[in-house]
A and B are shown apart, each in its own frame.
Chain A
Amino acid sequence: MIEVRHVSKVFTTMDIGTVTALAEVSLTINDNEFFTLLGPSGCGKTTLLRLIGGFETPSTGEIRIDGVDVAGLPPHKRRVNTVFQSYALFPHLTIAQNIAFGLEMLKWSKADIDVRVKEMLALVRLEGYGERNAAQLSGGQQQRVALARALAPRPSVLLLDEPLSALDLKLRKGMQVELKRLQRETGITFVLVTHDQEEALAMSDRIAVMSAGHVLQIGRPEDIYDDPNCCFVADFIGEANLIPGALLGRANVNIVTIRPERVTVGPGDAPAARIAGTVAEVTFIGPDTLYDIGLKDGTRMRARVRGDRGRFHAEEPVTVHWPDEAERELAS
């Protein structure tokens, strides 16, 4: 279990003064959990990962791993391993030697190391690649070696820093499944850093959405998708309509959010409409049709309607409908 309590990190640089990368962040990551830190670049997610790994020290606050305060513990004294964004496979060692590196540092016996290296190569499906050099492998294979190397010493936590960002789309999808499988099979806590919300939704048990050094919301992917607690989260995860409350006649509500797939479009004279507007654009994308609808104050709204073969056309006045349970009122 990782407990992060009121952790802040302030960097001091020569030219731009101080930068607050993390502000009073608190969260708990459970054992055997696939936990994701999700946010745009510069939100502090990588800083938080590096704090857990021991590559940075918090300015204030405390981090506990399995109940132990790790303040002042250097990376080599933490039962935490990292899969680096660049993989950082040692170019002067073979694949097998790369995987054995951590075990040698932990003073495992030669026989145990050999067994474990074989086991890890099998786990990441690279049997027979042990004697090659990293440069001879493809990006996806290097990625798997990096995983094997980090998992070999049986850490209690595995940190993954944007591990899939260097792979092409098809490989990325495959590796998402692979990572899920590895996490299930090893039972090790995975902490993933990513800016890709689809990746986060697909793989995580829980997600922490971060922005500008703050954690905005923590929850299961479904909860975060269905029940965002602020505009940033609603907008960052999936697609969201953000409609000013005043436009819906709710003066005391700041913003109302609805997912485009929960919105239906009706003819301009349909009764019991939420709001009226004009179709600005119609996009046919196969199973669904996207309607961009201009509301009266200029706010754009998107509806994603299943099976609708362009029932409405651009410039046509329409009404917009959604069920009560599909909307959320947001204060900010």
Chain B
Amino acid sequence: MSGGTPVQRPIQGFDWRKTPGLGVATWVFLAFLYMPLFVLVVYSFNANNLVTIWTGFSLRWFVKVLHNPDIRDAAINSLVIAVVATILSTLLATAAALALERGRNFRGFGTVNGLISLPLVVPEVVVAITTLIFFSSIGLNLGLGNLIIAHTVFCIPFAVLPIRARLKDMGGAYEEAGRDLYADEWRLFRRVTLPLIAPAIGAGGILAFVTSLDDFLISLMVSGPGTTTLPVYVYGMMRLGVTPEVNAISTLLLVLSVSLVVLALLLGRRARSRD
């Protein structure tokens, strides 16, 4: 080494990735975020009756969950609500996204634009309470229907986001080309616009589905006897003490949600990589 010409280091600008301690900080941060989830998942496989004492690996809590009729009913409620609310909200979101991105500039555009994303920023407890008051004041009592309506409303902004982004991304050129090639409005939508935004609609639908499935506050307020959703049921169980069964349900919900969100991301990426 000695006697050789010193190696000229290339001069670099400040690189935040080289900050000392960044690696450690990142791991601490990630641990803080995900340790609780990790512990929850691990203990869902615990053989012991007590949540916090590990005795051995077992799937008994999952078996128990699957054989509990109350949990099954709640899960079916949750799924029915999520599926119907997803379909309705995605349809409405697609229409809204098309109107906002492709429609003529109309009076009150800004207002509508704001109103559509408002549910994203309004505290959920406020939406929950006002929804409850609204339903009882007009005397609407449709059982699951009430929940479906409430879920459809708060799912719309989540479904709108990816569809609007896709429409903005792809620009108007494809649709102009379609019009130029003799497509009227309906066939233009069916043959050009819809296939091009389909992955985004899929992504929006999945986001809506996950949002609906995970919702607790609004469901708690609006649900009644017989219309309990899974998160509300779990909350009920917790009041009697945390059992490993709760861990098992949570693990199942977690796996479902995460895989759906990953699927939504993949759909979005496929749409972008195609042009």
A-side interface residues toward B, CB under 8 Å?
Answer: 53-55, 74-77, 80-82, 84, 86, 88-92, 101-102, 105-106, 135, 149-150, 153
Contact = CB atoms under 8 A, between A and B. Distances in A.
A149 to B, nearest CB: 7
Given A53-B180, A81-B181, 17 more contacts: A55-B176, A76-B182, A76-B184, A76-B188, A82-B177, A84-B173, A84-B177, A88-B173, A88-B174, A90-B177, A91-B196, A101-B181, A101-B183, A102-B181, A102-B182, A105-B181, A105-B182
A90 B275 CA distance: 8
B168 interface: no
B174 A90 contact: yes
Contact of B180 (A75, A86, A92): A75
A105 B177 contact: no
B179 interface: yes
Nearest to A106: B182
Q: How would you classify the secondary structure of chain B's contact residues: helix, strand, loop or mixed?
A: helix
14 contacts: A55-B176, A75-B179, A81-B181, A82-B176, A82-B177, A84-B177, A86-B173, A88-B173, A89-B177, A90-B192, A101-B178, A101-B191, A105-B184, A135-B275
Contacts of B176: 55, 75, 82, 84, 88
A102 B173 CA distance: 15
B102 interface: no
Nearest to B191: A101
Contacts of A106: 182
Nearest to A146: B177
A153 B195 contact: no
B195 to A, nearest CB: 5
A153 B275 contact: no
Which has the most chain B C-beta neighbours within 10 Å: A55, A88, A135, A150?
Answer: A88
Interface of B: 173-174, 176-184, 187-188, 191-192, 195-196, 274-275
A76 B179 contact: yes
Contacts of B192: 90
Contacts of B179: 54-55, 74-76
A76 B275 contact: no
Nearest to B192: A90
A76 B180 contact: yes
Which has the most chain A C-beta neighbours within 10 Å: B176, B192, B274?
Answer: B176
A92 B183 CA distance: 16
B187 A105 contact: yes
Which has the most chain B C-beta neighbours within 10 Å: A53, A91, A135?
Answer: A91
A283 B24 CA distance: 64
B274 A135 contact: yes
Nearest to B105: A14
A163 B16 CA distance: 44
